[in-house]
Amino acid sequence: MKKIAIIQYKSSTKGGAESVAMHMINALQDKYDISFITPLTDINIGDINRFYNISINKSIDIRSFTEQKYFDKIEHISGVLPQNETTEKFTLGLDLLRSAFFLRGIKQIQSEFDLLIWATRGPDIGRSYQHMQYYSNDELSSGEGMEVINSTVPALRYVHCPYQIQNIRKYQHNPVIEKGLSKICELIVGETPPNENVQSYLSNSNFTGKMLEVNNVSCKTLYPPVDVKELQAKSTSWEQRENGFVCVGRIAKDKNIHKNIDLIDRLRNHGHKTHLHIVGIQYDSQYSRKILTLADKKPYINFEGEVTKDELVELISTHKFGIHGKEFERFGIVIAEMVAGGMLPFVHNSGGQTEIVNNNNNLMYDDLDNATNKINAILKDPSKQTNIRDQLPFSDKYSVQRFYDEIQTHVDSMIQEHSKSNKFEK
């Protein structure tokens, strides 16, 4: 049985990119010997299975490397310290070192495997690791993106975002620290040649794929798996739903949750008796406190935090509208869940999220003023709401089964191709 390592460099097991990694494991585990490589040191497979409605083998080989446990302890201590610029940079530096040790760990074990699958983006540790340059038209306006893929065996890359935000550059006003941290991280990992073993790239949306193709990186779009059975089964009639909004995602600055709250304030000022439920893990503690403070002052803003899958299904199934504040979202699984659950989701007019709403101009906004005007007009017109819903049937191209079929076919093809050329023979 061929051995495959599925690598996930994330700080959680719950989220859009995390969902892809978990479903990959579930799709491939019956045919291949799977190892899950992660910096997380406390993983409950039972919880993951319940959350994603999957059946990952509880005896799966999980590798997190010994050093990661020490970083967990240090981060726990730093988490209780007063949050300021100094502690923020300390935490950032700690994450860079964690990343370096994670990459080193992968280098040490990679020869055990026949294929590496990078299910989420690789760690970002320093300038010398810019093996490939990708360009973004949003967060990295200077076009200085990078991918860190550290492997000497064949690899498949699932690309969620075609760039890396270089954390090391947050020290750019202190060049000594910047260069010092970068050099330390690179020494930890060791010399890494430009990777030539990524035979295949998959992207999470056409938007992501086009940005890769600009740099002559050929890839195929494989939309993330969206589990919609419960959402479709429990979807209630439009008339029975609450005239409220739900936003779902990490509680982090890039999700623009504060703007969602501002939007609800504006709609209420237009006379709409509406409300907002905020759902998501508290990813950014400082920003989470800000959102909690805002919510506490407004009885129509409900901070739900992390919820169970059943609770999320209940919220989506019983509310009319969704709002997603992130700009240039590469895909947005929750938006597809909202469509499947019968909601009207409003999204920023950028990124791959526009593909999910079929580029419907009624559901895309450019800024807060534009969003207020569009949504105000829709809330006033029930017939318009019905017409827009009729234009948003959920597509099978987002289904779990379609994802499983395509990832299995793709991996099988890679295994067979390289077996023939003896590249997979040990």
Sheet arrangement for strand 301-305: 301-305, 276-279, 242-248, 319-324, 344-348, 364-365
Weakest-pLDDT range from 205-219, 239-253, 303-317, 356-370? 205-219
Mean pLDDT of the chain: 81
Check: CB of residue 116 under 8 Å from CB of residue 155.
Answer: yes
Q: With 90 as the cut, is the pLDDT of residue 171 above it?
A: no
Chain-centre distance for alpha carbon 77:
27
The mean pLDDT value for 33-46 works out to: 89
Provide the pLDDT for residue 51.
86
Weakest-pLDDT range from 12-21, 23-32, 79-88, 89-98? 79-88
Q: What percent of the chain has pLDDT over 70?
A: 79
pTM, rounded to two decimals: 0.79
Separation between Cα atoms, residue 381 and residue 254, nearest integer Å = 31
Provide the pLDDT for residue 161.
73
Check: CB of residue 223 under 8 Å from CB of residue 331.
Answer: yes
Which residue is it, tokens 């975002």?
A: 161
Count of beta carbons in the 10 Å neighbourhood of residue 271: 10
Provide the pLDDT for residue 133.
35
CA-nearest of 226, 210, 155 to 410 is 155
**Domains present along the chain, CATH in parentheses:** 3-225+399-420 (3.40.50.11930), 229-396 (3.40.50.2000)
Provide the pLDDT for residue 67.
76
Q: With 80 as the cut, is the pLDDT of residue 35 above it?
A: yes
Provide the pLDDT for residue 83.
64
Tens-digit pLDDT profile for residues 314-336: 999 999 999 999 988 888 899 99
Q: What is the DSSP string of 178-236?
A: HHHHHHHHHHHH---PPP--EEEEEESSHHHHHHHHTTT---EE-PPPB--HHHHHHPP
Provide the pLDDT for residue 80.
56
Provide the pLDDT for residue 180.
74
Provide the pLDDT for residue 240.
94
Provide the pLDDT for residue 82.
63
Provide the pLDDT for residue 376.
97
Higher pLDDT, 29 or 190: 29
Q: pLDDT band at residue 96, thresholds of 50, 70 and 90?
A: confident
Q: Identify the top-confidence range among 120-129, 271-280, 308-317, 390-399.
A: 271-280
Provide the pLDDT for residue 197.
54
Q: With 80 as the cut, is the pLDDT of residue 239 above it?
A: yes
CA-nearest of 349, 341, 339, 328 to 388 is 339
The mean pLDDT value for 101-109 works out to: 83
Provide the pLDDT for residue 169.
47
